[in-house]
Amino acid sequence: MKQTKIAIIGAGGLTGKELTKLIAHHPGFELVHVTSNQVDGKHIREVFPDLSHLPDLKFQKHDAPVPKDAGVVLATPNEVSLDKAPQFLKEGRKVIDLSGTFRLHNQTKFEKAYQFPHTEFGLMDQVVFGLPELFREKLKNANFVSNPGCYATSAILPIALLGNLRKDIQGPVIVDAKSGVSGAGGRTEEIKFAYTNVYENFRAYKILTHQHEPEMEEYGFIGTEEKEILFTPHLLPIYRGILATIYISFPKGMDPKQVEENFQVAAAKEPFVRLYQTPEEVEIRKVQNTNFLDLGFRIKGNTLVIVSALDNLVKGAAGQALQNLNLMYGYPETEGLVTL
């Protein structure tokens, strides 16, 4: 069986490491190139001694030539992706970008959220948002995919899977989410994410200013009128996982059977969506190290409360990227993801 070559730019980070592990265990993909400016020259097994089945590769710098015919995954900071994605697309490669650089179609909103000018906005006509549950058919023919954010996925999917019920939503929708440090900025050695500041502590951050808020607004309401979302993220004293509580108001009382039916249809056809009978059953520990998004709901009067959970490094990043790679290259969508 001929394998598809894959290069990971920025493989030394947390998401890059997770994707390295997934690709190394995938029967259809061959990891042929990994980069990290921080560990340039070191063998991949030296950097990731806890992972098995790793290829015989050494890390190179981001600017090193990428092997011919290799698809590229960018697990890089936003500004690096802005520089690298156009280069790889010009070379005729398939590209998945895990940063937030190519997610938003409103340039003003992007530059306000990410705080730097977007100099390649013309590429937004080519990009497909990498949420398979919403854009599966487009992803099968895509050459350029923007992987969703982790917090964003935890909110977009539950809202979008409401289907036609979304047209009656009264904004704003309130998203209250908690993440482990690997999804909340722990990719750097900033003191606020250090163990001593996280352990036995709990706090909110980027209140109403988080870059995933406009992403939730754009994609949660695809096909219907966009509603305002008010998003507050919190930092949990754990390593991985996100739990989101989503509060949605309607003009009148909702029929729980309608909501349940919509979610049941999604759970029946989507391999990585699981519906629980009660929201209390949704827990971070049930999704850690998996590509699942779990959800449950309850209705009181005209208010719908949805609780969702996912692993920010898997369904929120690397696992979703592999799901997208499978679709882009014609492999079964669940390949390499159902037995993590």
Residues 159 and 278 in one domain: yes
Helix (H, G, I), strand (E, B) or coil at 180: coil
Q: State yes or no: pLDDT of 44 exceeds 70.
A: yes
126 inside domain:
yes
Residues 157 and 141 in one domain: no
Report the 10 Å Cβ neighbour count for 182: 24
Which CATH number is 166's domain given? 3.30.360.10
Spatial separation of the C-alpha atoms in residues 268 and 327, rounded to whole Å: 19
- Please provide residue 55's backbone torsions phi and psi, each rounded to the nearest 5 degrees: -75, 170
Residues 140 and 171 in one domain: no
Residues 186 and 95 in one domain: no
Model pTM score: 0.94
52 inside domain:
yes
* pLDDT score at 2: 81
DSSP 74-119: E-S-HHHHHHHHHHHHHTT--EEE-SSTTS-S-HHHHHHHH-S--T
For 179-197, write each residue's pLDDT tens digit. Answer: 999 887 644 445 566 777 8
Alpha helices, DSSP H only, in the chain? 14-24, 44-47, 78-90, 107-114, 132-140, 150-160, 195-198, 212-220, 256-269, 319-329
- Please provide residue 170's backbone torsions phi and psi, each rounded to the nearest 5 degrees: -100, 120
Cβ(220)–Cβ(155) below 8 Å: yes
Residues 306 and 270 in one domain: yes
Give long-range contacts, CB 8 A cutoff, 24+ apart: 267-273. 270/133, 271/333, 271/334, 271/338, 272/133, 272/315, 272/323, 272/334, 272/337, 273/133, 273/157, 273/161
106 inside domain:
yes
Average pLDDT over residues 306-320: 98
Q: State yes or no: pLDDT of 326 exceeds 80.
A: yes
Which CATH number is 81's domain given? 3.40.50.720
Residues 228 and 187 in one domain: yes
Residues 6+ apart with CB under 8 A from 206: 233
Which of 49-53, 96-100, 140-144, 150-154 shows the lowest mean pLDDT across its residues? 49-53
335 inside domain:
no
Residues 181 and 322 in one domain: no
41 inside domain:
yes
Average pLDDT over residues 156-172: 95
C-alpha distances out from residue 102 to 62, 120, 123, 194, 301, Å: 19, 9, 8, 29, 39
Residues 50 and 163 in one domain: no
12 inside domain:
yes
Q: Is there a catalytic annotation at residue 271?
A: no
27 inside domain:
yes
For 245-299, write each residue's pLDDT tens digit. Answer: 999 999 998 889 999 999 999 999 999 999 999 999 999 999 999 999 999 999 9
Residues 98 and 158 in one domain: no
DSSP 199-227: TT--EE-STTT-THHHHHHHHHTTTS---
Range of the domain at 87: 4-147+317-329
* Total domains in the fold of the chain: 2
Cβ(293)–Cβ(310) below 8 Å: yes
Considering only CA atoms, which of 65, 91, 62, 94 is closest in space to residue 79? 62
Average pLDDT over residues 211-240: 95
Residues 77 and 92 in one domain: yes
Q: Exactly one of 31, 142, 150, 337 is catalytic; name it.
A: 150
Residues 189 and 275 in one domain: yes
